[in-house]
Every structure is written in C-alpha cells, then in structure tokens.
DNA sequence: CTAGTGCACTGGTCGGACCAGTAGGCTCTG
DNA sequence: CAGAGCCTACTGGTCCGACCAGTGCACTAG
C-alpha cells in the first residue's frame, strides 16, 4: 500500500499569507475597484504582523497591479480595476530576457488580429463598423497632413491603434483584445526609431491604408475568412521590412 | 511657440530605483540566470538605502519572477531563468477579476492552437512528428487503463498536454508556446471537478483521440489549413459541453 | 459664509534588534 | 592522516520604534 504520501511543506512567509488574504478578498468581490484598504497601521493590527510585513505584502500586490498606495492618503491603499499593466510588464520582460524575436511578436499579432477580424466580421454592430471606417479615414487624414510637414506619424499610429482596437472589441473576446494591445505596444517599442527613418514611409502608409480599406470592406460584406487573410497580408506588408530576411519565411507561412 | 513642455514629475520611490537598476542589470545580461545578487545587507550599502527599502525592492523583483531568495543562503538572492509564472499569475487574476468567461478562454485556445498547428505543419521535424504520435498513443493507453479502473484521467491529460506542447514547440514561436500553456492550465482549473463527473467521459476521450489522429495525419501530409481546422473542431468537441449553450455560437464561429 | 490655517493621520524611509536556518571551516576522534 | 561532527559567521524573515514630507478635514478667523 505504501505509507502516507507526505508533501514537502514549503515555508510560507508571513507577507505571503497577507497577500493571499487580500487577493482573495479582491477576487471574491469583498473588495471592489475604487474601494480602499485599511491603513498600513490598521492592517498590522488586523493581521497581527509588523508594518514591514504589511508593506512587503502591499509591494507584491502593487506589483501585480491590484492596489496602489499614495503617500498621505488618509484612506489607505486603493483597490484598482484590472489593468493589463502587469500582463504587459511580464510580457515585456519575456520579450527582453527570453529573446523573443520581432518575427515571433509580429507573427503572434498576425494570428490574434486575424482571429479578431474573423470573429468581428460576424459579431460586429453597425456602430463598430462605422468606428472602423472612421479610423481608416483618420489614417488617410494623417497621411495628408504628414505629406506637408512631418507630424503625421503620431496621428497615423493613433488612428491605426483605434482601428485595431475597434476590431478587437468587436470580436467579443476580452482576452484577445488585451493581448493584441499588449503585443502591439511591445512591437512598436521594438521598432521605435526605425519607423520614422523609413525612406518610403509615405508609400508604406498609403499601402497600409488601402489594405485596411480592403479588410473593412470584406468585413462589411461578411466574408470573415477573406478579411482575416487580408489583414494578415496587411500586417506582413507593414512589418516585414523590419524583420530580418531569414525570419520572414515564418511570417509568410501565415499568408497561405 | 508656447512655453517649455514640462512633464509631471512622478515621485519615484527609493525601492523603485533599486528595482530598476537590478532589472536593467538582468536584462542587459550583467546578471545571468543562476547568478547571485549580493546579500541584502550588502545591497543596502551599495544603494545607500535601508534594508527595508532593499527588501521591498526584492519583493517586487520576486513577484515579477526575476529573483528568488532563500533564508539562510549565504550567497544572496538567486537570479532566475525566465518562467511564465508571472505571466500565468497575471492572466489568472485577469480571468478571475475581469470575469473572463470559459468560452473566451477556450476560444483563445482554439485560435492559438490552430495557429501553432498551421505553423507546425510546415516547420515540424520528423522527430517532433514522432513525439506527437507517441503522445496520441499514450492517450490511447490511458483510455484503455481507464476503462478498467478509474485512474486514466491524469495520464490522459498528461498525454494530451504532451501532444499540444510538442505542437507548440514545433511551431517555432515561443510566445505561442507559452501562451497556450498558460491558458490551457487556466481552462483546466476552471473545469476541474466537472471533468471527472462527465458521464460520457469514455466516449469523449475516444472521440478526442480520433480527432488528434486526424490532426496529426493532416500534419504529416503537410496540409496545414486542414490540420488547423480539424484541431479547432477537436477542441470544440472536447470543451463545448462545459460552455453554456448561448456562448457556444462564438466558438462555432471559428469552425468555418 | 468663505478663506485660510492647523492638526491628525497617511505612506516612505531609516536604523537597530532578534530569530531560525544554512554552509563551510574547524576541531576532535578514529 | 582521513573522516565525522560541532561551531561560528553569515543569511533572510520578522519585529519594533522613530522621523519626515505629504494629504484631508475640521476648525477658526475674517
């Protein structure tokens, strides 16, 4: 039969117990976003631990994006609504430490974005479709403004963001929405600097706009698979130039 | 012209500076996994801060999965190789706090897994293909063992994990690999308990095995799109029963 | 009734102290 | 001389008490 199966007892630190309890209170809904934790001095009484322990627990909770504390606030730490900030942080370190290549990130975006478009083609409302049209129009306006001066880059990027954000929201999947946003910002940070030096930037933008128009037209027509395929091609066209030649093959694998 | 553009100065805490410096040392490669940080008392000298501050910084770094400290270790905190533990944590809280539905999670898995299979169908080596066959064989063995007693559930799940892990690795995209793994474990945790109560469990497993066989056959034939479509169907078949009726439509949208 | 001023309290940081635990050098023994 | 055991100098975990610069609110003076 074998003796009783003993499990190794991991030494559980005091601050971890505090973290667990607060975390559970938040997840169970006992503490809602906007609500306040008791002050540190109050917490040390309730948990019967020292203030150092309380503070270390709060640091962990803060690192996980669950609470925020402000000096001088008489109300104690504030419970935050969930933000993907922690997710963003861990993915960013993943990208840096684990040497994620730009190709992998762009590939990931192609996968998620085309999935979002496939879903949005079915689920989108007329209003959301209008948002997408507006975003494309804003991209065109940014292009025209950029032809004269050199200011259009920011607003073009903002319009592009608005487009993909509208699509992601229309997909009805919050996880896709958040992940696309996170990965998008990481990609942009990686190619920042190189993006404005692009010699053919105007042509790139024009092509991107045309691609977006094709995508949204296919979505209006309800042809999700086509829209998804077009969106993968659009993203490939836009980012392939930044990806080393020998890694582009993996990207093209998604173009069918 | 407008006056000089002042930026709001956010009060930067001492422990944050410590975190930043250590983080940068890790990301720049000055500190490599397996390496050791100086002891806390040594750090408080180097940074000219108190031990409380050092410790709060270490707690943050630990929460981000970058270091780990053990009591009594004369070598100081250990720099960890990257693990998706932090990513996992933040996604889990995302799932709980932000009320991600099971349907969204399964949908996400369908998207990522089919993408991984599409890529793996092109890039897989013979060895990786053999791994997948072995995993399917293990699933069948677990089923047969389970018919007699009631022990097969664990080994069936383990074999299933091995299959999808092999596919994800063969895709050549570490981000996909990590995310599928994270989401997978969250899904399993959500339906834990319900999974063994399934009355038709044997039939479900048999069907799943057949689906996996079809997928791997399509991959051997090099038909990525077919394999991807089959894998989406396989996942739908396996998990749809746990998803509320009215949310299944979004899942079916991915079946074409 | 309003505007200004304290006060009580907050979080951030510091320094010192104690404890249980570890690792490696040391001594003592064979 | 070799090996087994103790011992000490560290480690991280926790506690305590203190000070500071801020914040909100009540209270007061106009």
With beta carbons under 8 A apart, name residues in chain B contacting A183: 175
Res. B21: pLDDT tops 70 = yes
Please, is B162 exposed, middle or buried when counting C-beta atoms within 10 Å of its C-beta (0-12, 13-18, 19+)? middle
In a domain, B169, yes or no: yes
Query: If pLDDT is split at 50, 70 and 90, which confidence band does B151 have?
Result: low
pLDDT score, position B85: 85
A237 with A111, same domain?
A: yes
> Which nucleotide is closest, CA of A11 to its C1'?
D13
Dump pLDDT digits (tens) for A150-191: 555 678 889 999 999 999 999 999 999 999 999 999 999 888
Dump pLDDT digits (tens) for A41-85: 999 999 999 999 999 999 999 999 999 999 988 888 999 988 888
A97 with A49, same domain?
A: no
B147 with B48, same domain?
A: no
DSSP per-residue string spanning A210-250? HHHHHHHHHHHTT-HHHHHHHHHHHHHHHHGGGS-GGGHHH
Q: What is the mean pLDDT of residues B158-184?
A: 94
Q: Name residue A79's beta-bridge partners.
A: A67
Q: Which two tokens stand for residue B85?
A: 């533990």
> Which nucleotide is closest, CA of A16 to its C1'?
D13
We report the CATH number of the domain holding residue A100 as 1.20.120.530
B36 with B106, same domain?
A: no
Residue B72 CA to nucleotide D8 C1', Å?
14
With beta carbons under 8 A apart, name residues in chain A contacting B60: 59-60, 62-63
Percent of chain A with pLDDT over 90: 64
Domain boundary among A38, A54, A79: A79
Average pLDDT, chain A: 88
Query: If pLDDT is split at 50, 70 and 90, which confidence band does B203 have?
Result: confident
With beta carbons under 8 A apart, name residues in chain A contacting B52: 52, 55
In a domain, B3, yes or no: no
Q: From B223, which residue of chain A is nearest by alpha-carbon distance? A: A256
Please, is B152 exposed, middle or buried when counting C-beta atoms within 10 Å of its C-beta (0-12, 13-18, 19+)? buried
In a domain, A2, yes or no: no
pLDDT score, position B148: 55
In a domain, A6, yes or no: no
Dump pLDDT digits (tens) for B44-98: 999 999 999 999 999 999 999 999 999 988 888 999 988 888 888 888 888 887 7
B126 with B100, same domain?
A: yes
In a domain, B193, yes or no: yes
Residue A71 CA to nucleotide C8 C1', Å?
15
User: Using the beta-carbon criterion (under 8 Å), do B123 and A250 form an inter-chain contact?
Assistant: yes
Determine the distance in angstroms separating the CA of A91 from the nearest CA of chain B, rounded to an integer: 7
Distance separating alpha carbons of residues A50 and B144, to the nearest angstrom: 56
Residue B33 CA to nucleotide C26 C1', Å?
33
DSSP assignment, residue B150? Answer: S
Where b means 16+ CB within 10 Å and e means fewer, A6-25 reads eeeeeeeebbbebbeebbee
Q: Which two tokens stand for residue B75?
A: 């070598």
Q: H or E stretch including B153?
A: helix B152-170
For chain B, how many structural domains are there in total? 2
Q: What is the mean pLDDT of residues B108-136?
A: 95
A20 touches strand C (CB under 7 A): no
Residue in A15, A90, A98 closest to B90 by CB: A90
Residue A72 CA to nucleotide C7 C1', Å?
14
Range of the domain at A163: 85-255
With beta carbons under 8 A apart, name residues in chain A contacting B123: 250, 253
User: Which residues, in sequence order, are CB contacts of A103 under 8 Å at separation 6+?
Assistant: A243, A244, A247, A248, A250, A251
In a domain, A8, yes or no: no
User: Which residues, in sequence order, are CB contacts of B51 under 8 Å at separation 6+?
Assistant: B40, B41, B44
Q: Which of A169, A150, A89 is nearest to B27 (CA)?
A: A89
Q: Which of A100, A253, A112 is nearest to A189 (CA)?
A: A100
Query: If pLDDT is split at 50, 70 and 90, which confidence band does A2 have?
Result: very low
Cα B237 off chain centre by = 22
Q: Is B190 helix (H, G, I), strand (E, B) or coil?
A: helix
Residue B76 CA to nucleotide C23 C1', Å?
13
With beta carbons under 8 A apart, name residues in chain A contacting B108: 173, 175-176, 179
Domain boundary among A79, A94, A127: A79
B212 with B246, same domain?
A: yes
- Check: CB of residue A32 under 8 Å from CB of residue A79: yes
In a domain, B1, yes or no: no
Q: Which of A85, A50, A46, A91 is nearest to A66 (CA)?
A: A85
- Check: CB of residue A142 under 8 Å from CB of residue A156: yes
Distance separating alpha carbons of residues B34 and B23, to the nearest angstrom: 15
A58 touches strand C (CB under 7 A): yes
A72 with A108, same domain?
A: no
In a domain, B6, yes or no: no
Determine the distance in angstroms separating the CA of B90 from the nearest CA of chain A, rounded to an integer: 6
Res. A213: pLDDT tops 50 = yes
Specify the length of chain B in residues. 256
A68 with A97, same domain?
A: no
We report the CATH number of the domain holding residue B72 as 1.10.10.10
Determine the distance in angstroms separating the CA of A137 from the nearest CA of chain B, rounded to an integer: 29
B155 with B110, same domain?
A: yes
Q: How far separated are the first and last CA of chain A, in Å rounded? A: 56
For the packed helices B126-148 and B201-220, what is the interaxial angle rounded to 10 degrees?
170
Angstrom CA distances, A209 to A113, A164, B61, stand at 16, 13, 42
């Amino acid at each position: 039969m074998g003796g009783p199966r003993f499990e190794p007892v991991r030494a559980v630190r005091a601050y971890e117990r505090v973290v667990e309890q607060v975390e559970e209170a938040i997840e169970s809904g006992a503490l809602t976003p906007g609500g306040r934790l008791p002050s540190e001095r109050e917490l040390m009484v309730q948990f019967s631990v020292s203030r150092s322990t309380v503070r270390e627990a709060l640091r962990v909770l803060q690192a996980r994006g669950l609470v925020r504390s402000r000096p001088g606030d008489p109300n104690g730490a504030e419970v935050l609504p969930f933000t993907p900030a922690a997710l963003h942080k861990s993915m960013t370190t993943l990208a840096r430490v684990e040497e994620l290549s730009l190709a992998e990130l762009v590939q990931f975006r192609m996968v998620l974005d085309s999935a979002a478009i496939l879903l949005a083609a079915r689920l989108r409302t007329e209003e959301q479709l209008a948002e997408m049209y507006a975003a494309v129009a804003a991209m065109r306006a940014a292009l025209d403004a950029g032809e004269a001066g050199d200011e259009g880059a920011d607003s073009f990027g903002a319009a592009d963001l608005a487009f993909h954000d509208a699509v992601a929201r229309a997909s009805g999947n919050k996880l896709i929405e958040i992940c696309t946003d996170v990965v998008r910002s990481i990609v942009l940070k990686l190619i920042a600097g190189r993006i404005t030096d692009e010699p053919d930037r105007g042509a790139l933008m024009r092509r991107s706009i045309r691609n977006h128009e094709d995508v949204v037209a296919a979505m209006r027509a309800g042809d999700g698979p086509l829209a998804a395929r077009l969106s993968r091609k659009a993203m490939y066209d836009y980012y392939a130039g930044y990806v080393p030649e020998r890694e582009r093959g993996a990207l093209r694998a998604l173009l069918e």
